[in-house]
A = this chain, B = another copy of it.
Amino acid sequence: MAIGLDSLDTPALLLDAAKLERNCRAMRERLAHHGVALRPHVKTAKSVEVARRALDAPTGPITVSTIREAEQFFDHGFDDILYAVGVVPQKVPRLAALARRGARVATIVDSAEAARGLKLAAAREGVRIPALIEIDSDGHRAGIRPGDARLFEVAAALGDDLAGVMTHAGESYNCETTEGIAAMAARERAAVVESAEALRARGHACPVVSVGSTPTARFAASFAGVTEVRVGVYMFFDLVMAGLGVCAVYEIAVSVLGSVIGHQRERNWLITDAGWMALSRDRGTARQKVDQGYGLVCDLAGAPVDDLVVVDANQEHGIVARRGGGAIDFARFPIGSRLRILPNHACATAAQHGEYHVLREGRVADAWERFGGW
């Protein structure tokens, strides 16, 4: 039984089902067109219901960022799982428990030390856990740089457990043009394809060649040599993605419902109950051409209204003002009226909430649980 947005307690996380489904379908179709597999990253949504909509199959493949995600999704039937954070020996027993229960679990390493630690810990558990070697395609975080001979040391340490190579072009979030993102996508692809070829030239099988970031997946001209794409935020999109030109603002599927709790008339501020606890502290648009503060304010139908943004946030208070100042039409926003706020970063904002209130045709038709922790 669907209820109206006026019946929800605020703040609350909203998910527009039609937008979610359209975003998921668009990515599936794009990757199918390029003949490359989709291994969605479930770290953004952390929701079984959302992941089911991202995939054609109910069992995966999926990418996870925590062991907890691996366990939760396996318990709901997803059995092909890549734990895509550099593994340490202490985490192997929980992965091994999943493998013993029938999961196809793989992980990643970027050093011979980590590879040896994985092999030893897995052997102690009586299982084998294949690993991809992480390649650093952008200088952003982890991985072995293309051309670095340490690649072969890691491959030797993994031996038969070498499953392939992977990279994540996180630096694509900092590109200023879609051409820049396309160039980053070419660099991301080249980094793993060339690493895979170098390994094959030394006799390693290297079946998996995995890339992934929502911006590069959107603007890559080619996936030649790539076997799978790991993406997550595309399911929801957010203001950072809109600022990059990866999506339009109207395609953003998640928002936070808040109530107007005060008026500061002299300052032209609305005070709301959606502070950083509901929005997160993420300021990802601060370095973009259009700074959206802590979020862009929309009416209950989801359309941006009066160029209002959340200019500051305390724990349970948001401060809303017109971008660049200017008079607020306070009569339009009485105490107790409601707003929707589009987030800078869907992963961070969704993480502040325990459930999605699922909108269909503007009414709350369902509640989908999301989980946290490690």
1/0 per residue A94-128: CB within 8 Å of B? Answer: 10000000000000001101100100000000000
Is the Cβ of A9 less than 8 Å from the Cβ of B88? no
B142 touches A335 (CB 8 A): no
A43 within 8 A of B: yes
Q: Is A59 an interface residue (CB 8 A)?
A: no
Considering the complex, which residues of chain A in the window 262-277 have a beta carbon less than 8 Å from any beta carbon of chain B?
262-264, 266-267, 271, 273, 276-277
Selecting from A48-56, A244-252, A314-322, the interface stretch reads A314-322
Interface bits A301-325 vs B (CB < 8 Å: 1, else 0): 0000000000000111101000000
Q: Which residues of B contact A273 (CB under 8 A)?
A: 85, 88
Please give, as numbers and ranges, the residues of chain B lying within 8 Å of A282 by CB-CB distance.
Answer: 276, 281
- Interface of chain A residues 136 through 175 with chain B (CB within 8 A): 136, 139, 141-142, 145, 170
Chain B residue numbers with a CB within 8 Å of A373 are 353-354
Measured CB to CB, the nearest residue on chain B to A353 is B373
Confirm or deny: A253 has a beta carbon within 8 angstroms of a beta carbon on chain B.
no
A89 and B283: CB pair below 8 A? no
Complex CA gap A91/B317 in Å reads: 15
Where chain A touches its partner, the secondary structure class is loop
Which residues does chain B contribute within 8 Å of A336, judged by CB atoms? 88-90, 117
A367 part of interface (Cβ distance < 8 Å): no
Q: Is the CB of A316 within 8 A of B262?
A: no
B111–A262 contact, CB under 8 A?
yes
Query: Shortest beta-carbon distance, A167 to chain B, in Å?
Result: 14
- Closest chain-B Cβ to A64's Cβ sits at a distance in Å of 10
A35 to chain B, nearest CB (A): 29
Which listed residue, B67, B91, B319, touches A141 by the CB 8 Å rule? B319
Asked if A348 is an interface residue, CB under 8 A from chain B, the answer is: yes
Given A90-B259, A262-B142, A348-B281, residue A85 in contact with residue B317 (CB < 8 A): yes
- Which B-chain residue is minimally distant from A345 (CB atoms)? B281
- The contact of A85 among B67, B145, B261, by CB within 8 Å, is B261
Q: How far is the CA of A278 from the CA of B319 in the complex (A)?
A: 26
Task: Return chain B residues, CB-CB under 8 Å to A288.
Answer: none
A372 located at the interface, meaning its Cβ lies under 8 Å from any Cβ of chain B in the complex:
yes
Counting CB contacts under 8 A, is A65 at the interface?
yes
Tell whether A88 pairs with B335 under 8 Å between CB atoms, given A65-B316, A110-B262, A316-B66. yes
- CB distance B315 to A87 under 8 Å? no
Chain B residue nearest to A116 in the complex (CB): B335
Assembly CA distance A217 to B374 (angstroms): 36
A11 within 8 A of B: yes
- Cβ-defined contact, A261 with B170, below 8 A: no
Interface of chain A residues 218 through 268 with chain B (CB within 8 A): 259-264, 266-267
Residues in B with CB closer than 8 Å to A141 are 271, 314, 317, 319
- Closest B residue to A316 by beta carbon equals B65
Q: Which of A43, A65, A86, A110 has the most CB of B within 10 A?
A: A86
CB neighbours of A43 from chain B (8 A): 315-316
Partner of A9 from the list B170, B264, B266, B374 (CB cut-off 8 Å) is B374
Please, which residues of chain B bring their CB within 8 A of the CB of A170? 314
- Say yes or no: B354 contacts A113, CB within 8 Å: no
Q: Could you say which residues of chain B place their CB within 8 Å of the CB of A82?
A: none
In the complex the two chains form, what is the Cα distance from A271 to B113 in whole Å? Answer: 14
